[in-house]
Amino acid sequence: MILEINNLTKKYGNNTALDNFSVTLTNGIYGLLGPNGAGKSTVMNLITDNVKRTSGEILCNGKEILSLGKDFRRKLGYMPQQQGYYEELSARAFLLYMASLKGLTRREAKYKTDELLEIVNLTDVAHKKLGSFSGGMKQRVLIAQSLLNNPEILILDEPTAGLDPKERIRIRNFISEIAENKIVILATHVVSDIEFIAKEVILLKEGSLITCDTTENLLSQIDNIVYEVTVLSGEVEQLEQKYNVSNIFRRGDEVIARVVSDSLPDELRKTKVRANLEDLYLFYFGENKDGKSEKA
Ligand code: ADP
């Protein structure tokens, strides 16, 4: 499966939500990462054809998805954000209902529903109402729903939103397991959702693609500019105003701050540390000074 997106643009009046966006996707998990308003939903909505594009093309194995129509939609699975609909339905009833909307026969729907309930580990509570489920359980039902038609392209919108850390890890591992032989697009602004499971990360900012690459290659860009800087408590505010600071760790009168910067003065007490994806996010999206945010 190859999904080729070429010069995709979406404008709302004078506002360009997505500007000449081009990427080529093959099987594996892609993290679609960017702050609110970056254009992540727009990308997803254009692939699912929920909104009309202004220009550009999306090719599935070489064919325009708009011409493929139903044949493309059949290949597509979409997990929306939780919205609190269908709270009165049981998990099984909800999945059967979604299966009927997707055009599965009753027999297929029943078989698939049982299979997916098992996969998402909800068989025991399948008869209970969605309204009584925890956030993590609801997310698993929504993922199950997106898999009813065995999609080859799976789009997940903030799949860990509102979950506690344990549930997050569980959902993340689960996504990683089901991602085989599929293109999975996982939109998030939570770096840890994709750090270890994404084949490549697509960074979006203000409607434009910054880059699409493996985590390893992305991190190599900032390999030499992530430091732990030790300052006195009273100096930390000044440091934060000037540089992109991620973590702050207090130790007595001193503070150890994690800083992403290529222009730290020599006299600062600092140690170079290994970059992670959160540092990269800060480098591109942090508000401060010498990150790419000002240069872009
Ligand atoms: P994200 O999902 O990354 O938060 P969106 O794709 O929702 O970003 O939004 C990208 C830009 O498009 C934002 O500036 C947003 O205000 C604008 N936008 C999105 N949907 C609409 C709409 N229906 N009408 C007008 N502007 C929109």
The Cα–Cα gap between 79 and 187 comes to 10
The Cα–Cα gap between 67 and 71 comes to 9
pLDDT digits (tens, 9 = 90+) for 201-216: 999 999 999 999 999 9
The Cα–Cα gap between 43 and 224 comes to 32
CA of 39 to the centre of ligand 1 (A): 6
pLDDT at position 4 over 50: yes
* Closest Cα to atom 6 of ligand 1: 39
CA of 107 to the centre of ligand 1 (A): 40
> Alpha carbon of 52 to those of 3, 14, 44: distances in Å?
18, 16, 12
Mean pLDDT taken over the chain: 92
Residue 203, ligand 1, Cβ within 6 A: no
pLDDT digits (tens, 9 = 90+) for 105-133: 999 999 999 999 998 889 999 999 999 99
Ligand 1 binding pocket mutation candidate from 42, 52, 205 (most atoms within 8 A of CB): 42
* Closest Cα to atom 11 of ligand 1: 17
pLDDT at 291: 45
pLDDT digits (tens, 9 = 90+) for 252-291: 899 999 999 999 999 999 999 999 999 999 999 987 645 4
User: Whole-model pTM?
Assistant: 0.91
Residue 36, ligand 1, Cβ within 6 A: yes
CA of 206 to the centre of ligand 1 (A): 10
Residue 18, ligand 1, Cβ within 6 A: no
Atom of ligand 1 nearest to the CA of 39: 6
Please, are residues 255 and 249 in contact by the beta-carbon 8 Å criterion? yes
